[in-house]
Structure formats: C-alpha cells, structure tokens
Amino acid sequence: MKNTDLQSQNQVGWLLNLVGKFSTKDLQSQNLKEIGEEYMKKIQLNAQLLSGFIFSYDIYKQEFQEKLFHIYPNILICQSDKIYTHLILSNCTIKKELIQYKEAKTYGFIISNNFGNTYLFFSQFIQYRNWYKLMKQYCKLNDFFGKYKLTERMLPGVYQCYKKTNNVQFTAQIYKMEDFDLCPEIEEIVHNEIQMLRSVKHQNLLQLRRVYEDDSYLFILYEHFKGESLYNLILKNQLHEVQIASMIYQILQTLKFLDKHQFYHGNLNPLNIIINSNNQLLQIILINLSFKQYKINDKLDWILNRQVEGFIAPEFYLGFPPNITSDLYSLGVLLYFMAFPKQLPNEQHFEKFDIDMNKIKKLHEIKTQQQSIDQLSCLDQLIEKNISLSELDLLVKLLEQNPSKRIQISDCMMHHWFVNIKCKIKQLNVVKKKKVILPSLKTIIELRSQSELEIKIQSQLSNNNRRQSRLTMNQGEDFDLVPDEGHPLQQIAELDFCQLLRNSNQSRKI
C-alpha cells in the first residue's frame, strides 16, 4: 500500500474519532444483524456488486475502524473473520455526511432504519462516490420534490413526472404515510412489493428506479410507462381472441417467473393490469403486487377486505393462504370477463358480481357437441360464436373450485388454446398471401424444453391513434412467439430471498 493511502486512512480514522459529531447513543444503536454462515454461502453464489474496506463504528472498541463490507443486490454485508452481519437496504434511508476539521475532511453516509444506524466513511472520495452511487439504487432517498416535477395523473396515486435537471420522464406512485399508520397491512404490502422489484426484473413488471420518503409521503419512482387499465380496455373495445390470448399468456409468463422466485401476485384483477402504450407491441404490466409471507394460523381477513371479492379464490374462505394457484383462479375470472365483456360490471359496482358458470358450461357443451349457437341468447350470439372451444376449456380449468385439481402453470402454458391460435394465424397468412414471410412458428410442445414463449401482437400503428390502431388490427397478423422468460437482477435467481426476509429482523417502516 502506498504511503499516501496509509496517511489518508490514518487521517480519516483520526478525524472521525476526534470530532464528536455523533452522539454516543446513536453510535451504539447499530442496525446490522448477524446472518448464518450457511445462508451466507448461498448469497455468495450470486454476483457481488462491490467490496472494500470502509471506516465504520465498532461498538465494542468504541471507535471508528476499518471493516470489510460487501454489497449484493439489496443486501449490505459486513465481514469480520467468519462472522457476517447484514442489512436489507430497501428498509433503510441513506443520508450523505461530510466530516471536516480545519484542513482535514472525509465523506461518507449514514444508513438508518428503526433499529439504528450504520456509519460508512471513506478514505478516498472516488471510493465514496462509487459506493453511494450503488447504495442509492436500493436505499430510500429524500427531497423528491426538489428533484422531480409531477405532471399528469395517470391512475389513482400514480403520476407522470420528470427530473428537473435533465427533463427525463418517469412514473411515480405515491402513498400517504398516514394511510400506513391507519392500516399497517398496506405498509407491509408496499414494503414487500419494493423488495420484490428490487430483487427481480421482468418485462411485465414495473422497473423500479428509486424510492423516496419524507414525513408525509412515500414515493416509488419507476421507468416511464403510460397506458390505461385493462378494465377500461375491456369496457371500450371488443377484444379479439388473439389479443386475449396474448395478454393471458404474458400474465402466465409473469406468474411463472414470480413462482420461480417464491413470490405470487396476490391481487390479480383488470384494475391492476396496465396496457403499456409506450410499447409498439401489445404489452401488459402487472401493478400493485400484494405478496405477503404467511405462517400457520395467520388470519386472512386483510386479504378478504382488500381484494376484489369476485377474484378471490374459494380456498381463501377455508383458511388457505394465497399463492400462485390462487392467482390462477383470479386469472380465470379475468379471462371470463375478457371472453364475456358484457358481464363486466360498472366500476362503481365492481365489488359485486357473479360468474355465470351455467353460461360457461352450456356454451362448452354446445361447442363440444357442435350444436347450434342459436340456443343461447340473441344478445350474446356474436360474442359467443367467436369464443373457441379450447379457450373455454382453459377457462373451466382455471375456475376449478378445488385448488388441488386446478390446472397448473406449466400445463396452462402448454394448453392447446395457444397452439390453436397460432395455427389459425398461420392459415390466415397463407390465405392472404403476405409478401413478408413471418418467422417459423413452432408449436409450444416443440419448445417446452426451451425458455417460455411470449405471445406478442405487433400493432399496426397510425399517426393519428396508436392505441385504437393496435386494438383494431387485422386478426391474423403478427402473432409472434418469442423465447423470453425475463431474468433476475444481478443473477439473484438461486437466492431464496423469501428466507432472507423471514430471517431478517428489520423493521418495515417504509
């Protein structure tokens, strides 16, 4: 090590221990918690983002000393011999600090939560800058309104905004802190959603950029997206079977991705699905994930009170906790309203509706036996003629009351409805004698050993009305299946993040 580096480090240690900037009480209230060696080995299988020696307060020696720190996605690790302590960063706020005495100074920051503080100070400014740049991706920041300007309201609590320094657009979701005080369950749900989006990355989930907090609000900043809810889309437009298949398949992809990482959505309904108008393809985005970890005998009252009643899986009322299987039932209800849009209630009465299982079974029977569709009501004949038998088959299997008999995700994604849709499009393309040849469309069965297939419908955009053009495109065009399953952020796929959250004693004051 160079003499200049040693002098710099000695100066930092001397300066921090000389200047009484922090109270003894604050220094003693440390928030790093010990983590088991076995679980630390699992963390070490994933990509380490940054590592180095940093000055931090030692409560036993009661002075600032150099310690070895590592950053993994959303996790700060302090290593001392074979003892590891950790901190879940998204639980914490970060505050920059400058310690100065005459000509000497050092830069650092404080990472705080309800349990206490962790102080990190650096001997080199470039080291401080690199660590802060990485840490602020995970910790909560302050002064949102000093950095961003809100513009239009897109959804309840969701606004478009731009950064004042460079006019880059983002989308912000805003929560009132007083709502968290009134309903701690909402705070836990929001906290868990932040944890999830910090840990995994998928094209049909919101891309979280930053989290800000002040005394009154919590701000979650996302990559810019724009669109409307699937609920509004169903009300305004008659969806074709190809469009329905595209959206259902994208949701299935996302649910399978969440299940792989031991998560679930927990509140799947058309108000929590956004059609992204920034994308030229018919892309959906799932919002308001309500993942919560359950223990035996935990009450489910908060779910029954918060979710849209008709989308709640029947096993909830028997005390079963939510999971991907219950998400699939909610997906079945969603498919029902997409297939039978006239059954969708007005938003003011959205809580009160029933699924007409007799209609589904009758239509399934008619199509199975190839009977005349005229046996059904004249009002719905046109819609119901366009519902295929394979679509009805998937619908019935998703709405199975017994969760142990309900269709599983893997079987859903191999369902012959999706295969039939591609065959129909292939035939239409032959009839239309298109000059541009589409890529070869293999069957889902042929691709089962590869990555999951994503159904995409390419829009026929016009300069006047992008959204309407995309929704009224020709039925058989541009139904393309692309192998793309999403990927975990920084190779976090094999890390049991749920277990880490369970083992963590961090508070959930967001």
Q: What percent of the chain has pLDDT over 70?
A: 75
For residue 148, what pLDDT is reported?
96
Average pLDDT over residues 272-297: 82
- 252 touches 330 (CB < 8 A): no
- Side-chain-side CA neighbours of 294 within 13 Å: the count stands at 19
Q: What is the mean pLDDT of residues 80-90?
A: 88
List pLDDT tens digits, range 102-134: 878 889 999 998 889 999 999 889 999 999 999
Residue 146 vs residues 142, 143, 163, 165, 214: alpha-carbon distances, Å: 9, 5, 9, 10, 12
Tell me the average pLDDT of the chain: 78
Indicate the pLDDT class of residue 60, thresholds 50, 70 and 90: confident
| Mean pLDDT value across residues 270-291 | 86
User: Residue 334: what pLDDT?
Assistant: 94
Rounded Cα gap, residues 327 and 412, in angstroms = 13
Residue of higher predicted confidence among 184 and 405: 405
- 327 falls in which pLDDT band (50, 70, 90)? very high
- Asked if residue 293 lies in contact with residue 502, where contact means CB atoms within 8 angstroms, the answer is yes
Task: Report how far residue 277's alpha carbon sits from residue 467's, in angstroms, rounded to the nearest whole number.
Answer: 7
Confidence (pTM): 0.74
Please report the pLDDT score of residue 317 as a whole number. 84
Domains of the chain from N-terminus onward: 3-139 (2.30.29.30), 144-223 (3.30.200.20), 237-415 (1.10.510.10)
Helix (H, G, I), strand (E, B) or coil at 446: coil
Q: What is the mean pLDDT of residues 136-141?
A: 91
In the block, residue with structure tokens 């699905």: 273
Lowest mean pLDDT segment, chosen from 53-57, 65-69, 368-372, 452-456? 452-456
pLDDT-derived band at 366 (thresholds 50, 70, 90) equals: confident
Q: What is the pLDDT of residues 423-481, one digit of tens each?
A: 877 766 655 544 444 333 333 333 333 333 333 333 333 343 444 434 433 333 333 33
Which of 16-20, 202-206, 358-362, 453-457 is the most confident on average?
A: 202-206
